[in-house]
Every structure is written in C-alpha cells, then in structure tokens.
Amino acid sequence: MSSAIVNRQTFDEVMVPNYSPAAFIPVSGKGSRLWDQDGNEYIDFASGIAVTSLGHLHPELTRVLHEQVDRLWHLSNTFTNEPALRLARRLTESTFAERVFFSNSGAEANEAALKLARRYAFDHFGAEKTKPEKTKIVSCKQSFHGRTLFTVSVGGQPKYTEGFAPLPGDLDHIEFNDLAAAEAAIDANTCAVIVEPVQGEGGVLPATPEYLKKLRELCDRHGALLIFDEVQIGVGRAGTLFAYMGYGVTPDILTSAKALGNGFPVGAMLTTKKVAASFVVGTHGSTYGGNPLACAVADKVIELVNTPEVLDGVKRRHDLIVEGLARINETHRAFRDVRGAGLLIGAELTGELAGKSKDFVNVGAKHGLVILVAGPNVVRFAPSLVIPEDDLQEGLERFEAVVAEVLAAQSV
C-alpha cells in the first residue's frame, strides 16, 4: 500500500541501500537556496554534484523546458529532432569538436568515448596490422569515469570494482600527473588515454599543464586518442566553457554531462569528424540520447554559461572562496591545502582530521549548508557559477561555524 507521507525512513524501507542520503529531504529550491520538508533553509555549495551550475529553477531554463514540454517529449533516434541539432550545432561552434553523440549521463558519454576509441583503433590499425592488438586504454589512479562496468574498470579506484570481476581487459592505470609513468605506459598498443583535467571524486586535483601537454604528445607519437573526461569540470566550472581551453591542450574526444543539463539528465561525447567516422550506423546508440527535452535545456545552458559575465564571475567567486577559506584556516587550522580550479574547490584536511570529511557534511546540514566530500580527507565546494555574492559570504560564515563545531567535537 502506498502512502502520501514519505520521509527519510522510507528510503531504508523501499530503496536499494547503495546510497546513504542526508537525514533531511529537500523539497524546493531557488537560486542557491534549498528548503527541506520541515521548512529549514540551506545554502547550496554542492549544486547536486556540480550539476545545477546555474542554480535551482533558473527562469530561462524553466521557460525553455516548459515550452518543449508543451511541444514534443520524445521521438527516438529513428528521427532526429530540432533541439538536438541546435545543441550539437552550438557545441561544435563553441569547441574543437565537429561531431556530437548524446547520452543520458556521464558514464554513458564515457562508455561511448571508450568504445569509439577501441573501434577507431580497430578500423585504422586492425588486428592484421598490429600484434598484439591496439586495444590498451590508459587511465589514472584515483580517477573517476562512471559506474558502468567498463567505466568503473577504467576508473582508478579499486574500491569501486571490488566484487564485480571479471572486468573488461587491457586497462592500465598510471599515477596522475606523473610524466615518466605516462611515458612508460603509452605505447604502440595504446588506443586511448582518458584523463580528467581536474580530478573531481579523486580529491579535487588539477592536472599540471605539462602533464596534459605530455599526454597529447605521447598520444600523437603512438597513434592513440586523447579523451578528456570533463563530466564534472566542464560547462564553465573551470572558468572557461571547457577546461581544455584554459590548458591549451585539445583532446580528440571530450565528454560532458553533469552541468550540461543543469539537472535535466543529459550527456554528450564531442569529437572530430575523422574519429566520429568509426561510429557508422548500427555501431552504437541510446534510446533516450538526444531527447528533445534534455537538449532544449542543455542548449540554453550552454548559451547562458558561455558568456564573459558568467565565466569571469567564476574566477571572481573562486577568489572569494579561496580567500574565505584562508581566513577561516588562520583561526582554525583545519586544512593543509586548498586547491582546485574555478568553482570546483577542495580543502584537504590536516592530519588530525584525517578521514573526517563526512563530518563536515553532516554538521553542515545542522548549520544550513550543503557541501560535498571528495574522498575521506577532502571537503569539496561546487556552488552555482552564478551564486549571489551575499549567499556566498553567508555560506562561508556558516562554514566557519561548521569548522568550529567539528574541531570542538574533535577535542572532547
């Protein structure tokens, strides 16, 4: 029997226990604020997980979604549709890419990228030309690329593949930002190298420019494709439309999702005409990929984000947060490092607080602040790119109270 009343306890009664959600349930949002079932208000420094980058209920996004809802929801890829074509046109005009494939999520965008890389090597360096085959995929330790079996195996966090063997083969994991390791691993049998320009889940770690340049050089030398997973850092969060633009290193394939739909599920794989040619009719697909509702929203998201006001605003807000955290740290000495890019910022805890990042999230809820972790030792901040500066300052004040409370509990 279903009941109208649902609460956090309902989760434990009816949901698969793979998540452990917060004790409160947000029911509405506006801009950078959320409200829960009891009317408590929160400042949102998480944006989902770097998803609602233009805030909750952005009026322009709500408008285009409503318009599309009243026109056409779905067709399947038996047809193409206007919103998908407009979005693909906009993405190709504003990036290196010449071709776009749409998915529903980041994992699916990466799944497409990895399959395409294998297929491209098969087409261009087929089995009869190279022995052993050119199928090796090189990725980084601590990286995160999604939860399908392929993407989670390519990801560099063994805890996420434990118990799921047998895993896809010919994957090589190397130390992030280690030029010598890349040099040793990438060879004639490598079909692709996949990297997050800024590791998100792995602890908010930016790649060094030299590292990405080195990967580009090694891929060119060995005929491998360079894939940038920009699912978390892309769509303005780095202060450029995509992070590769700030690094000045252009990949062969780029994946996007999270902020692309500002909360409406959508992902995209961007690539060149030459590489795209390996996905001939029938090689890959998705029922929902390129859905008109998702693409109508994403087209507006890119239009809104790709402006000097928003992108310069990211840099200004980055500085405000980093300065705020430095001020808090002068008093409380809780962090050994504050790092990141644009509005993806990680504060690494000192040794005494090791393993305690989740405490900050839990105490944050009590103080009306929504924040994230990136592993056990890093508190992660990913506010909206357009968060009003008053909200930002108030959020930092709340965060200082959170730090004080976590430290007080620590010293008892």
Contacts to ligand PLP by CB under 6 A: 105-107, 110, 144-146, 196, 200-201, 229, 231-232, 257-258
What does the alpha-carbon distance between residue 359 and residue 405 come to, in Å, rounded to a whole number? 10
Residue 382 or 387 having the CB closest to ligand PLP: 382
Residue 230 marked in a binding site: yes
Please state the closest distance from residue 143 (CB atom) to ligand PLP, in A.
8
Given a contact cutoff of 8 angstroms between Cβ atoms, the answer to whether 100 and 268 are in contact is yes
Prior bond of 383 cis (ω within 30°):
no
8 A C-beta contact, residue 285 and residue 298:
no
Q: Is 286 annotated as a binding residue?
A: yes
Q: How far apart are CA 178 and CA 176, in angstroms?
A: 5
Could you tell me where the DSSP H helices lie in 164-289? 179-185, 209-222, 243-247, 273-276
CA nearest to 296, candidates 59, 75, 112, 73: 73
Decide whether 56 or 145 has the Cβ nearer to ligand PLP: 145
Residue 129 beta carbon to ligand PLP: minimum distance, rounded to whole angstroms: 32
> Sign of torsion, CA 243 256 199 392?
positive
Structure tokens at 251: 């990949």
What lies within 8 Å, CB to CB, of 412 at 6+ separation is none
Cβ closer to ligand PLP: 196 or 299? 196
Query: Computed from CA positions of residues 44, 45, 51, 52, in that sequence, does the dihedral angle turn out positive or negative?
Result: positive
Residue that the structure tokens 């009026």 belong to: 59
Q: Which of 101, 150, 228, 229 is catalytic?
A: 229
CB of 293 to ligand PLP, least distance (A): 17
Catalytic position from the list 134, 136, 214, 258: 258
384 marked ligand binding residue:
no
Instruction: Using alpha carbons, list the distances in angstroms from residue 375 to 52, 311, 345, 346.
Output: 21, 28, 13, 10
The DSSP symbol for 207 reads P
Which residue's CB comes closest to ligand PLP?
A: 106
Find the shortest distance in angstroms from Cβ 277 to ligand PLP. 25
Which residue type, as a one-letter code, is found at position 193?
A: V
Residue 229 bears catalytic tag: yes
Instruction: Please state the closest distance from residue 58 (CB atom) to ligand PLP, in A.
Output: 20
The three-class DSSP label of residue 75 is coil
State the minimum distance, in angstroms, from the CB of residue 71 to ligand PLP. 26
Is residue 172 annotated as involved in ligand binding?
Answer: no
User: Helix crossing, 292-305 with 82-94: angle to 10°?
Assistant: 30
Annotated binding-site residue? 231: yes
Is 147 annotated to bind a ligand? Reply is yes
Of 106 and 263, nearer to ligand PLP (C-beta) is 106
- In the complex with ligand PLP, the residue whose CB is nearer, 44 or 196, is 196
258 catalytic per annotation: yes
Q: Is 148 annotated as ligand-binding? A: no
Which residue in the block uniquely carries the two structure tokens 């349930």?
Answer: 25
- Which amino acid is present at 206? P
Smaller CB separation from ligand PLP, 31 or 342: 342
Give a three-class secondary structure readout of 147-184.
Answer: CCHHHHHHCCCHHHCCCCCCCCCCEEEECCCCHHHHHH
Annotated binding site for N(2)-acetyl-L-ornithine: 147, 286
Annotated binding site: 106-107, 144, 147, 229-232, 286-287
**Residues marked as catalytic:** 144, 229, 258
